[in-house]
Amino acid sequence: MGLESPEKGSGKRSGNTYFPDWTRIDTTSPAGRRGGQPLLHAVQGKKKYKGLLVWDGTAGWGEDAWILASMGHSLVAVERDPLVYLCLLDAWSRAAREAPFTARRIRPECGHSGDMLQRAADDPRGWSRPPLPDVVYLDPFFPEQSGKKAREGKSMRVLRLSARKGDEGTEELLSPALMVARLRVVLKRPRKAKVLSPDGLAPVHTVTGRGFRYDVYLPRTGRP
């Protein structure tokens, strides 16, 4: 199952169809399993924690969830758009045929992660399903920049237009995430974007990639 995006501002179809296929992601070669990859470095940390429970609050096509699951972590992959969620489910079910043990580490959820994070933050003692995470990973859509549309990859372009996605309310996700995570919160941002510091809580570490960065936050103290 894939999505075909309409041309922006018209009812026409653009012909840009994207089918997420996790089996094409290299997670088996030495390069694919290199812990120094920015995503893995940010989520696992210097101690290279194994078997983490990660809430991916903006799952999208689910590729990052698959990479993390292939490294032995358990994922709750939350996607709010119903059509994108169905594409994610389709990719998950097809990947499960080739790597069933990896697929079992992923729990897809259709819903708004902001609501889920806030409910867990409001009542952590009463929250049980899914269990509270070690890490909350957030990869909201980057702001669309004029004049640079051609640089955006096809998969992201189709996702943005088809799902009509824009600002995910990054700070609204970040604040409750800092109350919920046990070890860290990882926020993906454009490389030159301003640093977000909710209530004065700034990142303690940054992992840079090509055109983006991962800001790593320690959770707020005082969680029961």
CATH of the domain at 166: 3.40.50.150
The residue segments making up the domain with residue 114 are 3-217
Are 131 and 100 spatial neighbours (Cβ–Cβ below 8 Å)? no
Place of tokens 């959770």: 219
pLDDT tens digits, one per residue of 66-97:
999 999 999 999 999 898 899 999 999 999 99
Are 49 and 34 spatial neighbours (Cβ–Cβ below 8 Å)? no
With respect to residue 144, please indicate whether it lies within any of the assigned structural domains: yes
With respect to residue 30, please indicate whether it lies within any of the assigned structural domains: yes
Cite the beta strand spans of 26-81 per DSSP E: 53-56, 74-79
d(CA 84, CA 76): 16
pLDDT band at 195 (very low <50, low <70, confident <90, very high): very high
With respect to residue 54, please indicate whether it lies within any of the assigned structural domains: yes
pLDDT in the model for residue 151: 52
Are 41 and 207 spatial neighbours (Cβ–Cβ below 8 Å)? yes
pTM: predicted TM-score of the whole model, two decimal places: 0.84
pLDDT tens digits, one per residue of 6-34:
555 544 445 566 678 999 998 877 766 66
pLDDT tens digits, one per residue of 124-167:
888 878 899 999 999 987 655 555 554 555 555 555 555 544 44
With respect to residue 49, please indicate whether it lies within any of the assigned structural domains: yes
Q: What is the DSSP letter of 127?
A: -
CA distances from 215 to 45, 133, 140, 189 (A): 12, 18, 13, 7
With respect to residue 224, please indicate whether it lies within any of the assigned structural domains: no
* pLDDT above 60 (res 55): yes
- 173-190 in b/e form (b: 16+ CB < 10 A) is bbbbbbbbbebbbbbbbe
Instruction: Determine which helix (DSSP H) or strand (DSSP E) holds 206, and give its type and residue range.
Output: strand 205-208
The letter for the amino acid at 217 is Y
Chain centroid, CA 22 distance in Å: 14
With respect to residue 223, please indicate whether it lies within any of the assigned structural domains: no
pLDDT tens digits, one per residue of 166-192:
445 788 899 999 999 999 999 999 999
pLDDT in the model for residue 39: 94
Domain count, the chain: 1
With respect to residue 137, please indicate whether it lies within any of the assigned structural domains: yes
With respect to residue 113, please indicate whether it lies within any of the assigned structural domains: yes
Residues 6+ apart with CB under 8 A from 52: 43, 44, 73, 74, 133, 134, 135, 183
Are 171 and 198 spatial neighbours (Cβ–Cβ below 8 Å)? yes
